[in-house]
Amino acid sequence: MTKAFDIAGSTVEPGTSMRLGMPAGRLFTQQVIEIPLTVVHGAKPGPTVWVSAAIHGDEISGTDVVRRVIEAIDPANLRGTLLALPVVNVFGFVQHTRYLPDRRDLNRFFPGSKDGSLASQIAHLLMTHVVSRCELGIDLHAGSDHRTNLPQIRADLDDPHVRELCATFGAPLALHAPLRRGSLRHAARQAGVPCLLYEAGEPMRFDPAAVRYGTAGVLRVLKKLGMIKKAPAIKVPTRFSRRSRWMRTSRAGVVHLDVALGEEVKPSTTVAVVRDINGDVMCRLRAQRGGIVIGHTLNPLVSRGDAVLHLAALEE
Ligand SMILES: [Zn+2]
């Protein structure tokens, strides 16, 4: 028999879901800011998994993924427990910005501490109430700073279990990404909890492909863990990459891309042309190696050295 799930001062009965708010601090006008959390506690025992979005406040497409995942799950038929956080950085979310009010990047302050900066306190809150309760986490991101990303998982591909989960998720690409100190993924790993990081689309948009791949991917992982019975089938298997590189422009100007997200390019293909404002060609960006386009700038106005296109080399 499944027991009730106690979290952050609330009790969720088996076979039910509950919407909660975890107090994350106060505005200087004294209003309490809460991190929204939906606990879907299954009628049957099973693993506990978290799915979180908008740890960077302007990367909002994951918020819609979380909504769709919650809608797709019936607690009466769920095995285990889903902790769903549509907006982690509420401060940044309401301000349309990646950062916290003190310009700190929340995803550099994990595992945090109870009495540190606001970023550190929120990180600590998440580690205490969410990460420490889970067997697995999925953290949803989008491109930052006028960039868009092909839906992709970034994870430690040297871990066979994680690599298998990447294939289960079914995004077009899985990219090996070493753990970055201070990130939620790093702190979770240190606590023994693997975490998949999903990157897709652009900031401040509900990108349709990002939402579709993200929702299907989370549901597939939950199905793989035996928590739910149905998930969308994978149409095209995930491709793997261990190396990626941003191509930068050697001249300032106006950039025109010749390739799209997901496109495969051969070595020495021209991927973008930078012109001056009258249309005269300043430089051409050519791929040194072959690969797949996994991200690009959305801002056509570039300075010398700006990142234009993100290319990943596919595994043999
Ligand atoms: Zn992010």
Instruction: Show Cβ contacts of residue 77 under 8 Å, excluding neighbours closer than 6 positions.
Output: 42, 43, 228, 229
Which pLDDT tens digit goes with each residue over 234-244? 999 999 999 99
Which pLDDT tens digit goes with each residue over 197-209? 999 999 999 999 9
Q: Does the pLDDT of residue 1 top 80, yes or no?
A: no
How does 105-116 read in b/e, with b if 16+ C-beta sit within 10 Å?
A: bbbebbbbeeee
d(CA 134, CA 5): 12
Which pLDDT tens digit goes with each residue over 160-183? 999 999 999 999 999 999 899 999
Q: Does the pLDDT of residue 218 top 90, yes or no?
A: yes
pLDDT of residue 308: 98
Of 160, 149, 27, 138, residue with least CA distance to 85: 138
- Let me know: does 121 contact 114? Beta carbons within 8 Å: yes
d(CA 73, CA 54): 21
Q: Does the pLDDT of residue 145 top 90, yes or no?
A: no
Centre of ligand 1 from the C-alpha of residue 77, in Å: 32
Asked, as a colleague might, if the bond just before 172 is cis with ω within 30 of 0, I would say no
Q: Does the pLDDT of residue 159 top 80, yes or no?
A: yes
Instruction: Show Cβ contacts of residue 155 under 8 Å, excluding neighbours closer than 6 positions.
Output: 162, 163, 165, 166, 174, 175, 176, 177, 194, 195, 196, 197
pLDDT of residue 125: 97
**What is the length of the chain?**
316
Model confidence at 262, pLDDT cuts 50, 70, 90, reads very high
- Let me know: does 239 contact 315? Beta carbons within 8 Å: yes
Percentage of the chain beyond pLDDT 90 is: 96
Is residue 307 classed exposed, middle or buried when 0-12, 13-18 and 19+ CB atoms within 10 A define those classes? Answer: middle
Query: What are the φ/ψ torsions at residue 4 (nearest 5 degrees)?
Result: -65, 155
Give how far the C-alpha of residue 78 lies from the chain's centroid of Cα atoms, to the nearest Å.
Answer: 24
Model confidence at 276, pLDDT cuts 50, 70, 90, reads very high
**Domains in the chain: boundaries:** 5-224, 241-314
Centre of ligand 1 from the C-alpha of residue 268, in Å: 31
Percentage of the chain beyond pLDDT 70 is: 100
Q: Rounded to the nearest 5 degrees, what angle is found at the Cα of 242, between the Cα atoms of 185 and 265?
A: 125
Centre of ligand 1 from the C-alpha of residue 197, in Å: 9
Q: Please identify every residue whose CB atom is under 5 Å from ligand 1, which is an ion.
A: 56, 59, 141
Model confidence at 250, pLDDT cuts 50, 70, 90, reads very high
pLDDT of residue 177: 94
CATH dotted code for 5-224 = 3.40.630.10
Which pLDDT tens digit goes with each residue over 278-308? 999 999 999 999 999 999 999 999 999 999 9
Fold identical between 5-224 and 241-314?
A: no
Centre of ligand 1 from the C-alpha of residue 76, in Å: 33
Which pLDDT tens digit goes with each residue over 12-55? 999 999 999 999 989 989 999 999 999 999 999 999 999 999 99
Across the chain, mean pLDDT equals: 96
pLDDT of residue 144: 87
Centre of ligand 1 from the C-alpha of residue 105, in Å: 9
pTM for the complete prediction? 0.96
- Cα dihedral 163/167/169/172 (nearest 10): 110
Mean pLDDT of 46-73: 98
Q: Does domain 241-314 have CATH number 2.40.50.100?
A: yes
Centre of ligand 1 from the C-alpha of residue 141, in Å: 4
Centre of ligand 1 from the C-alpha of residue 55, in Å: 7
Centre of ligand 1 from the C-alpha of residue 297, in Å: 15
Centre of ligand 1 from the C-alpha of residue 71, in Å: 24
DSSP labels, 140-160? EE---SSEEEEEEEEE-TTSH
Q: Does the pLDDT of residue 316 top 90, yes or no?
A: no
